[in-house]
Structure 1
Amino acid sequence: MRIALILLLLLSTMLAHATVYKWVDENGKVHFSDEPIKDAEVVEFKENTQNNIKLPEVTALPSAPSEPAVKSIDYKMSIVSPTEEETIRNNEGDITIITDISPQLASTHQLGLFMDGKQMGSKQTIGLFKLTNIDRGEHSFVVKVFDKSGKKIASTPTRKIFLHRTNLNQPKFIRPQPRTN
């Protein structure tokens, strides 16, 4: 059974080999087809008329950096305001940190503000940070420069400030009321 199936497949592939016909129309244009047409002649192909395409060898180009390497920038940074050990009195707990950076921040670099060792908010490109609802007490601030991969490039010296804020959790003073009989 298998042998018969294999022979049948081999015969069908031989018959599937299409014959090519060639003819010229009344305008002198040459046409080719696999269906016989009136006055068409059979085209005979030689064994060596196969399509052999040889592709040129691929040569690897030297890899170029995808982006120009940013040269190392030596930033000079400082926190301008508030001053060292300044006392800020603000009942809402608002603090504004202003930094001075030279040279100007590169387009691929960002600033991050750290208060008491924790990053406050997201990184930004402007050296002005506005904080709200900060707890009263002593706080230390540092501003750091990061490249696009998150590597720290530079930072300011630590700046210590004090925030005075009215504590709203104190018990209210109750005035004694005179007795009425």
Structure 2
Amino acid sequence: MRRILTCLLLSLALPASAQIYKYTDANGNTVFTNQPPQGVAAQPVELPPTNTVEAQAPTPPAASDNGETTTEAPYRLLQLSDLPSAEALRANDGTFSVGVELEPRLASNHRLRLLLDGQPYGQPSNVPRLQLTNIDRGEHSLAVEVLSGDQPIQQSATVMFAVQRVNTSSPALRPPPAKPKPAP
């Protein structure tokens, strides 16, 4: 009984590789179909073979001279951009953004995360423009790392920069004292 059922199911799969036909209808339109119409001269269409791509086996990490396995950095270029090199960064509220230059493009399974003063900062992102918020004034170090899952796989060079913010306790920013009202 099982053999008969299997043969029936296999015979149903045969029309999936059916022939395609081409003909011109009464209005002059070209029509493609899998069943030739009655009384119309339909021509079979020969399709080229479909393209196939064989899966490539992943290359194992290379072994170094001392027997340890090492992996090459996946990005030839990984660096921060849009940070001033000589002067201080003016950000009165401590909010600014930095760019990340990458070559090649960021892989779909990788994310970028900033390292501010050596500590992870913010959520990992796949966007090469990262924002920092409410950064204290003074000198800081900043780098960007590439994550695969939660594991860092590559890190940029560390950049030093200074943030300049307005000091809100400055006398120039205080409101003027209220003037006393004259007595009647």
Write the distance in 2 (CA, Å) between the matches of 1:99 and 1:74. 15
- Note the alpha carbon deviations across 1:64-115, whole angstroms, 9 max, x for none: xxxx858765312111211434411121112211110011111111111111
Q: Kindly provide the amino acid, as one letter, of the partner of residue 108 in structure 1.
A: N
Q: Secondary structure at the match of 1:139?
A: strand
Q: Kindly provide the amino acid, as one letter, of the partner of residue 140 in structure 2.
A: H
Equivalent pair of 1:77/1:156 in contact (CA under 8 Å): yes
Equivalent pair of 2:73/2:154 in contact (CA under 8 Å): no
Write the distance in 2 (CA, Å) between the matches of 1:69 and 1:81. 36
Query: For the structure 1 residues 131 and 74, does the alpha-carbon distance in structure 2 shift closer, same or farther, using more than 3 Å as the test?
Result: same
1:134 aligns with 2:131: no
Q: Secondary structure at the match of 1:162?
A: strand
Question: How far 1:162 moved relative to its partner?
Answer: 1.0
Write the distance in 2 (CA, Å) between the matches of 1:162 and 1:145. 24
- Note the alpha carbon deviations across 1:132-165, whole angstroms, 9 max, x for none: 22111111100000112x2221111111111111
**Which 4+ runs in 1 deviate beyond 2 A?**
68-74, 83-86, 169-175
Structure 1 residue runs of 5 or longer lacking an equivalent are 1-67
Query: For the structure 1 residues 114 and 86, does the alpha-carbon distance in structure 2 shift closer, same or farther, using more than 3 Å as the test?
Result: farther
Write the distance in 1 (CA, Å) between the matches of 2:59 and 2:106. 12
The residue aligned with 2:80 is 79
Which residues of 2 match residues 43-62 of structure 1 at below 5 A?
none
Q: Secondary structure at the match of 1:144?
A: strand
Query: For the structure 1 residues 156 and 73, does the alpha-carbon distance in structure 2 shift closer, same or farther, using more than 3 Å as the test?
Result: closer
Q: Kindly provide the amino acid, as one letter, of the partner of residue 109 in structure 2.
A: T
Give me the TM-score of the superposition, normalised by structure 2.
0.52
Write the distance in 2 (CA, Å) between the matches of 1:93 and 1:134. 5
Query: For the structure 1 residues 167 and 151, does the alpha-carbon distance in structure 2 shift closer, same or farther, using more than 3 Å as the test?
Result: same
Write the distance in 2 (CA, Å) between the matches of 1:85 and 1:117. 21
Query: For the structure 1 residues 95 and 168, does the alpha-carbon distance in structure 2 shift closer, same or farther, using more than 3 Å as the test?
Result: same
The residue aligned with 1:124 is 125
Could you tell me the percent identity over the aligned residues? 29
- Note the alpha carbon deviations across 1:47-75, whole angstroms, 9 max, x for none: xxxxxxxxxxxxxxxxxxxxx85876531
Question: How far 1:127 moved relative to its partner?
Answer: 1.4
Bigger CA radius of gyration: 1
Give me the TM-score of the superposition, normalised by structure 1.
0.52
Write the distance in 1 (CA, Å) between the matches of 2:111 and 2:85. 24
The residue aligned with 1:153 is 153
The residue aligned with 2:92 is 91
Write the distance in 1 (CA, Å) between the matches of 2:110 and 2:89. 30
Question: How far 1:170 moved relative to its partner?
Answer: 4.1
Q: Kindly provide the amino acid, as one letter, of the partner of residue 160 in structure 1.
A: M
